[in-house]
Amino acid sequence: MLRMGRTTILRLVAFSVLTSLLAGCATTLPSLEGRVATTALTDTAGTRLGRVLADDVAAHPGNTGVHPLVKPRDAFATRVLLAAAADRSLDVQYYIWHGDPVGYLVLGALWQAAERGVRVRLLLDDNNTRGLDPTLAAFDAHPNIEVRLYNPFAQRSGRAFGYLTDFQRLNRRMHNKSFTADNKVTVVGGRNIGGEYFGVGSDMVFADLDVAAVGAAVDEVSKQFDLYWNSPSAYPAASLVGTPGPEGAEPLKARFAAARADPESAAYLEAVRTTPLVRDILERKLSFEWATSRLVFDDPSKTLDTSGRTDHLLFPALVQAIGKPEETIDLVSPYFVPGDEGTAALVSLARSGVKLRILTNSLAASDVAAVHAGYAKRRLDLLRGGAQLFELKPTATQELPADSSGFGSSSSGLHAKTFGVDRARIFVGSFNFDLRSALLNTEMGLVIDSPSLAQQMADGFDRTVPLLAYEVVLGPDGKSLQWIERTPTGEKRHDTEPGTGFFKRLGVGVLSVLPIDWLL
């Protein structure tokens, strides 16, 4: 047995006493007794969206019409305009909703819909609602709005203590993202609600991807929403954040007005005025690409079930839906932590002759250095196995060609989660290629049988990605790495991770030897 010093023993005893005290005073979650189960409104054929889409949907039975949302302001405007076009219902589900001008602009759009009589259901993961309790209390108090918080913190302040006393539960989060109007149009993909996801007003602006979908996929998304909304992990907000004070909704309305008046909001409001997507839908001008699709998602029981079951997980269903690659895989994941098994599977595919290209964040562009550590230790194995690796530059905004459409919102950080197989099928959703998405968080996304979209993605790797990213290659000795940077004046080769300092690289190196891939 290892001998421990007296100081070590005292520290362990102190920690045990502290955690016992915290556990003893931990606040419990409220009862779900009295919570009313509700489901998506399906009698929406007579709504504006229902009427204008009826002929197109009838002409493509069982199929889904999709329209990619690459440009960030278009993605923002589409959500706001769908809220304005809704007549009966809005079902909205997100992992992150920031209390910045963008967050309040979208909340304001939902509020205005509720004022017209639209039923609004807002389901938010509770991990990122810090500071929003007064806003959520006032928002939830509207008679046509209901807010539920997923897997919530019982203690509203000092949330770190919640992790000390209930880590196993709180470490599992709802990462799903969807925005559905009148059960007729839905937006799914990688974007949360906040300035950095829509291109303005943040030090970190993300490249991301959503799709607007109509037809068969919308019913699937609505059923998925209902499953989460009525799950044991979804708590009525009022039971946690209380009710608004005597001033009622006035502070919230003032926040809406301040968001509209914010100088940085001008670009978003102009986007609402000029983005043609929803107007084109209502005027029957927009041509969707129609294809077969399948929604894949984790069962919400994943959040509370620690038994190791796999029958309720998205990843096996995703593998089945996307099919076995025969020729190519183009994979985009901002948080790429494949682990031992994932790395072995990817290497096996590459060695069998499948062309494997991967785009993730460079260390200089990553917003989570620890996640980069989980990826960095796999680079040699992937390259030796035949994969091509690209890491997005932090300067991608300035270097994006004006006529590029492959990853048109590329900027200082990658956030899109998508991959294409055999230039025939594509996945768009919330799933990162990491162990957290596979085993801990809940995820969702669409697998679309679309050679057109898959080919656009492949073209992006052919033409745009090499300009926006460093290509990582083996050094001359086969044991080291080099980063190729392509510039207008030629290629540069870097022997260390570009744009990073020694201590940042050292920290990543230390983290990479720790057995924490499952946590990243």
What SS3 state is found at 427?
A: strand
pTM of the model: 0.91
CA pair distance 309, 315, nearest whole angstrom = 12
H or E element that contains 91: strand 89-94
Give one DSSP letter per residue of 311-379, joined into a string: TT-HHHHHHHHH---SSEEEEE-SS-B-HHHHHHHHHHHHHTT-EEEEEEE-TTT-S-HHHHHHHHTTH
Reduced 3-state DSSP string for 207-257: ECCEEEEEEHHHHHHHHHHHHHHCCCCEEECHHHHCCCCCCCCHHHHHHHH
Say which amino acid occupies 5: G
Q: How confident is the model at residue 398 (pLDDT cuts 50, 70, 90)?
A: low
Mean of pLDDT values over 30-50: 97
Q: What is the pLDDT of residue 24?
A: 43
208 close to 415: Cβ distance less than 8 angstroms: yes
Per-residue pLDDT tens digits for 7-18: 443 344 444 444
% of the chain with per-residue pLDDT over 70: 90
| pLDDT tens track for 445-465 | 999 999 999 999 999 999 999
CB-CB neighbours of 294 under 10 Å: 20
Extract the tokens encoding 449.
Answer: 């049988």
Residue 13, CB-side half-sphere exposure with 13 Å CA sphere: 7
Burial class (CB in 10 A: 0-12, 13-18, 19+), 287: exposed
Q: Is the pLDDT of residue 279 over 60?
A: yes
Q: What is the mean pLDDT of residues 306-321?
A: 82
Alpha-carbon span 77 to 191, nearest angstrom: 13
Q: Are 423 and 455 in contact (CB under 8 A)?
A: yes
- Identify which has the larger pLDDT, 227 or 501: 227
Q: Mean pLDDT over all residues of the chain? A: 88
Catalytic machinery residues: 175, 177, 182, 415, 417, 422
Report d(CA 312, CA 74) in Å as an integer. Answer: 34
Q: What is the Cα–Cα distance from 434 to 335, expressed in whole angstroms?
A: 7
Q: What angle do CA 263, 115, 255 make, to 5 degrees?
A: 30
Looking at per-residue pLDDT, the higher value among 372 and 1 belongs to 372
Q: What are residue 416's phi and psi, to 5 degrees?
A: -65, 145
Is residue 384 scored above 90 in pLDDT? yes
Name residue, tokens 């596979």.
Answer: 438
The edge-to-edge listing of strands for the beta sheet with 355-361 is 293-297, 444-448, 425-429, 418-421, 328-332, 355-361, 388-392, 469-474, 481-487, 490-494
Question: Which one is predicted more confidently, 3 or 393?
Answer: 393
- For residue 436, the 8-state DSSP code is I
Note whether 187 and 178 are within 8 A (CB): yes
